[in-house]
Amino acid sequence: MTEGVRIREGGTELLVPEQHSSGGPGKIFDTVFFNEQMAFNRDISIMFLRALGKHLKVADCMTATGSRAVRIANEVPDTEVVANDINPGTIPYIEENIRLNNLTNCRANRENLHVLLAKEVFDYVDLDPFGSPVPFLHSAIQGCKRNGYLAVTATDTAPLAGAHRAKCERRYGARPLRGPMCHEMALRILIGFIAREAAKFDKGIIPMLSFSIDHYVRTYVQMKNGAAAADDSLSQLVYVAYDPETLERSISPTPDEKHCYGPVWGGKLFDRDLLERMSPEGMADEKRCARMLKVWREELDCNPYMYDVSEIASNVKVSTPRYDDFMEALSKEGAASRTHMSPTGFKTDLPVKRIKEIFSEVASRQ
Ligand SMILES: C[S@@+](CC[C@H](N)C(=O)[O-])C[C@H]1O[C@@H](n2cnc3c(N)ncnc32)[C@H](O)[C@@H]1O
């Protein structure tokens, strides 16, 4: 019998190794990986796939205990799922989890994902590696059917968010930016990289749901076949300028002395209709899912990229006003929203000069 503890996540029973991570990027205990904190990440997959509302052949390529694959097979109607992992130690967990939930639409598979995706194609391919997804992307793109979906996690946020600039340039061919925009830049570098990799195969991408949460970034994109789709995606890559003196951000389709960060994905991060169709009902962390859906639905999907109240406060040298009062004042003059990427972050289409004035005005009233 496989050793472990039984837990319930969403609507699914899972057997997981007794020693497992409960936060952060996670550690490999017992040779088979499981991170309780990623339940929310798996919730998002369930909400996303349910909202697509169609028959899906799914490859959870790096499934470990099978937690995501088995949840998908159990909680998303009309799915056939391959729960794959290269590590032989995972197979008893995957098989036990299939049995615990009486599933006939999920199969355990032990293969290098490059082999699996060279043999079969899927409507949905999920990549959830330790660290960077870069070594796996070619195979994942080739393993996606026409108009299929690809979900990619990256936990190598130190390079992506600019703490290891040279590593980011080597891995992703993009220059990252430290500071208040670093999470949005990390996410956009990942999506930009996927667009460039897909273009090599004459494929384009449409990001449907993209986020930076906890210790990782993740995006769900739809693949579009054809050179025109590839060119359209490439045309959405931009270079970013950031002036720490003025806080001015701007983008340009080509790099220059100022616009030297990137290339990053300059297009939309979300599909609004899909967000409307996603429901938190029955998720492991229903409250967090509902809160996140609300923020995503309201979040501006625009340039310039996110600001943080602390960067404005230290720039204008006043203490930070109450967040809600400041946001209300911004909204009276332009479009303004929270961002899911930081509780102290915000987005607005107002010019930075006006943002600073409003900030000081609100601060002076408190
Ligand atoms: C971060 S864990 C996945 C966690 C899992 N998705 C979850 O939600 O619990 C990464 C997994 O990828 C597997 N892996 C690494 N390289 C692989 C490869 N080339 N093909 C298939 N699986 C691989 C590892 O064995 C490990 O179980």
- Within 13 Å and on the Cβ side, how many CA atoms surround 35? 17
Q: How far is the CA of 323 from the centre of ligand 1 (A)?
A: 40
- The residue among 112, 109, 101 whose CA lies nearest residue 58 is 109
Average the pLDDT over 44-67 and give the result: 98
Q: Does the C-beta of 130 come closer than 6 Å to ligand 1?
A: yes
Average the pLDDT over 202-229 and give the result: 97
Q: How far is the CA of 33 from the centre of ligand 1 (A)?
A: 8
Rounded-to-integer distance, Cα 154 and Cα 252, Å:
26
* Ligand 1 site-directed mutation target among 22, 31, 35, 85, most atoms within 8 Å of CB: 85
Residue minimizing CA distance to atom 5 of ligand 1: 63
SS3 readout for 308-353: EHHHHHHHHCCCCCCHHHHHHHHHHHCCEEEECCEEEEEEECCCHH
- The residue among 70, 95, 90 whose CA lies nearest residue 80 is 70
Give the range among 31-35, 230-234, 255-259, 282-286 with minimum mean pLDDT: 31-35
* Confidence check: pLDDT of 26 > 70: no
Average the pLDDT over 107-123 and give the result: 98
Band (pLDDT 50/70/90 cuts) for residue 99 is very high
* Confidence check: pLDDT of 24 > 70: no
Mean of the per-residue pLDDT values of the chain: 95
- Within 13 Å and on the Cβ side, how many CA atoms surround 83? 28
Rounded-to-integer distance, Cα 190 and Cα 339, Å:
18
* Confidence check: pLDDT of 67 > 50: yes
- Name the DSSP class of 180: T
Residue minimizing CA distance to atom 18 of ligand 1: 112
pLDDT for 242: 96
Band (pLDDT 50/70/90 cuts) for residue 29 is very low
Q: Provide the 3-class DSSP secondary structure of residue 230.
A: helix
pLDDT for 220: 98
pLDDT for 38: 93
* Confidence check: pLDDT of 248 > 50: yes
Q: How far is the CA of 164 from the centre of ligand 1 (A)?
A: 24
In the beta sheet, which residues pair with residue 195? Answer: none
Contacting residues for 79 by C-beta, under 8 A, at least 6 apart: 49, 55, 56, 57, 58, 72, 73, 105
Q: How far is the CA of 220 from the centre of ligand 1 (A)?
A: 18
Q: Does the C-beta of 216 come closer than 6 Å to ligand 1?
A: no
Query: Does the predicted TM-score (pTM) go above 0.75?
Result: yes
Q: Provide the 3-class DSSP secondary structure of residue 52.
A: helix
Pair 106, 31: CB distance under 8 Å: no
Q: How far is the CA of 88 from the centre of ligand 1 (A)?
A: 11
Pair 217, 132: CB distance under 8 Å: no
Rounded-to-integer distance, Cα 270 and Cα 208, Å:
5
φ and ψ at residue 262, rounded to 5 degrees: 115, -165
* Confidence check: pLDDT of 30 > 50: no
Helix, strand, coil share of the chain (percent; to 5): 40, 25, 35
pLDDT for 51: 98
Rounded-to-integer distance, Cα 61 and Cα 117, Å:
9
Pair 240, 249: CB distance under 8 Å: yes
Band (pLDDT 50/70/90 cuts) for residue 21 is low
pLDDT for 239: 98
Cα-based distances in Å from 299 to 148, 284, 294, 336, 352: 26, 24, 9, 8, 18
Helix (H) or strand (E) holding 22: none
Tens of pLDDT along 308-330?
A: 999 999 999 999 999 999 999 99
Give the range among 16-20, 31-35, 142-146, 334-338 with minimum mean pLDDT: 16-20
Residue minimizing CA distance to atom 6 of ligand 1: 63
Rounded-to-integer distance, Cα 237 and Cα 20, Å:
39
Our CA angle for 174, 247, 272, nearest 5°, is 65
Q: How far is the CA of 64 from the centre of ligand 1 (A)?
A: 5
